[in-house]
Structure 1
C-alpha cells in the first residue's frame, strides 16, 4: 500500500499535567542540652517532623535528634494521560490526539471533511473496500462519520494508536473479513452503514445499494452479481429501494443458487424481487443465445460462391500448372512409380 508519510501534530500543548509542588529539601540538625539548664533553645521546623529522644537516668536530655518526615502532597493529581495505557500497551493519549486531528470544529466527531483527510493520511481511497472494513471494525453507525467513542473503541479493537499502526492492520482486517461468519457480519453491517440514520431510513436507495453491493463483494465476487446489478439499474421505476430482508437474502441467494439458476424455485421463500430477476435473467440469456445464433448464420451466409469457391480463371491456371508439373519436369525427373 505504500508508506503513510503524513504525520499528525498535537493540536494541544498539553492534555495532562502533574499537579502538586514539592516543598524544599528537608534538613537534619542536632540540638544538645546541658544538665540543670532551665530552658533550652528550640528551633522551629518548616514542616512536620518526628523526634527520637533518649532521656538519661539523671534527667538530663541526651542528644536529641529531629528527623524531618518527607512531606507528601495530599493530592498529587492524575497521572499524565500519556502514561495511561490499556492492558495491551496502547496509548490512550495518542488515540485521543489522533482523533482530535480530524475532529469537526463544532461536533465531537469526525465528519466528511475530516474523513477525507483521515483517508488521505492513511493512503487509502475513501470509496475502497479497506475503508468499509475499517468502518466495520469501528462499528460506525453512519457513513462518513466517526464519533469519538467509535474511533477510540475502534482503535482499541484493532490494536492501533497511530496512523502507521492502522495502516499495518489492514492486511489482517482483510483476511479476517474473508471468514464466513465475519463476512456475514460485515455484509449485514454494510446495509445499516448505508442508511441515513438522521432521516430514519429503513431501506437503501437503489443507487447506494448497487454501489455497496459491488463494494462489499470486492474480495469474492459472485458470478451472478453483475447481472443482478444490471437488472436493478435497468428497472429504476420498479425498484425504488432495497429492504433489509432483500439485502440479507441476496447473500443466501448467491450461496444457494448456481450460476445457471437451474435450482431456483419460486415456491421457496425468496423475495418477490428475486422472482422478477430470475425471469428477467433467463429472458436475457435467451435473447443473447438467439443473437449469437443469428450472428453465426449471418457469417455463414456471407460465405458466397464468389468468396468461398475458386474462380474459373484460377481453376484453369492451376490446371495448366498441374499439366506442366505432372507431365513435364516431374515426369522427366521420374517422380512416378
Structure 2
C-alpha cells in the first residue's frame, strides 16, 4: 500500500532580494555569435579587397597590392612569415580560410592593424622552436608542384639569404658561394636544407673544429666542409 504523507507545517519563504549582480547583463550565446560573425565579416571584407573576383583567392597580383598597402616588398621575410601564420599551402596564393586563420591569430581586421602586427609576428617567428618550423615551412612553400621534392640552386641561394642571412651571415655567404661554384648538385632536398640549419646551429664557424666527417651529415655539407678547409689552407 502507498504510504500516507504526514502533515507538516509549511514555512513561509523569505522574500527574494534582488542584488546588482542579478541585474547585470550576461552576454547571450546569440550575442557572442553575432560578434564573431561581425569580426569574420570584417576579415572577409578585407580579404575581398585583395582577392581575385574570378578565382576567389588572393593571387600574386593581390599579394603585390597587399604589400604596397603594408609598405613592404613582396620579397620581405615578413610576407613569408605571414604565409607561415596562415599555413598557406600554395606559393603566391592565400585562400579565405588561410587568411581568416592568420588574422584571427593576430587579432587584426584592417590593413593598418596588420601592418602594426608584423613586427610582433617576426618576434614570434624568431623564437627558436617557432623558427625551426618556419625554416622547414619556407622550403615547402617554395615547392610549386605536388610531385616536387627539391628546389633549384638559384632559388635556394635567394631563400637562404632571406631566411637565414640576418642570423647566420657568414655561414650563408660562404655556403651560397660554394653552391654557385660547385657542379655536383643542381637542386637541394629538404634533408640537405634542414642539415644546413643544423650545421649553423651546432658547428663553430669558420674554424669548424667540431665538424666530423664521421657523423651523419648530408654529403653536400661534407663537401662544403672540405671546400672550406682548402680555402683556409
Q: Same fold (TM over 0.5)?
A: yes
SS at match of 1:85: helix
Which consecutive residues of structure 2, in runs of 5 or more, have no partner in the other structure? 1-29
Deviations 1:292-319 (A, max 9, x none): xxxxxxxxxxxxxxxxxxxxxxxxxxxx
Pick closer, same or farther for the CA change 1:108–1:188 going to 2, 3 Å: same
Structure with the higher fraction of residues in strand conformation: 1
SS at match of 1:220: coil
Aligned to 2:86: 138
Q: Does 1:147 align with 2:95?
A: yes
Which consecutive residues of structure 1, in runs of 5 or more, have no partner in the other structure? 1-78, 287-337
Question: What is the CA distance between 1:156 and its match in structure 2?
Answer: 0.8
Deviations 1:86-120 (A, max 9, x none): 3xx97111111111111113212111111101111
The answer on whether the counterparts of 1:90 and 1:160 sit within 8 Å (CA) in structure 2 is no
Pick aligned residue for 2:107 from 156, 159, 162? 159
Distance 2:121 2:228 in 1: 35
- Superposition pairs of residues 1-337 of structure 1, within 5 angstroms: 84-86=34-36, 91-198=39-146, 200-235=147-182, 237-259=183-205, 260-286=207-233
Pick closer, same or farther for the CA change 1:90–1:194 going to 2, 3 Å: farther
Distance 2:171 2:208 in 1: 9
Question: What is the CA distance between 1:223 and its match in structure 2?
Answer: 2.8
SS at match of 1:204: strand
Question: What is the CA distance between 1:197 and its match in structure 2?
Answer: 3.1
Distance 1:218 1:158 in 2: 26
Aligned to 1:325: none
Bigger Rg, structure 1 or 2: 1
Distance 1:222 1:266 in 2: 23
The answer on whether the counterparts of 1:266 and 1:275 sit within 8 Å (CA) in structure 2 is yes
Pick closer, same or farther for the CA change 1:219–1:227 going to 2, 3 Å: closer
Question: What is the CA distance between 1:145 and its match in structure 2?
Answer: 0.9
The answer on whether the counterparts of 1:222 and 1:254 sit within 8 Å (CA) in structure 2 is no
- So what's the TM-score if we normalise by structure 2? 0.81
Deviations 1:240-268 (A, max 9, x none): 11111111111111111111111111100
Which structure has more relative contact order (CA 8 Å, sep 6+)? It is: 2
Question: What is the CA distance between 1:214 and its match in structure 2?
Answer: 0.9
SS at match of 1:114: helix
Distance 1:176 1:219 in 2: 16
The answer on whether the counterparts of 1:84 and 1:92 sit within 8 Å (CA) in structure 2 is no
Structure with the higher fraction of residues in helix conformation: 2
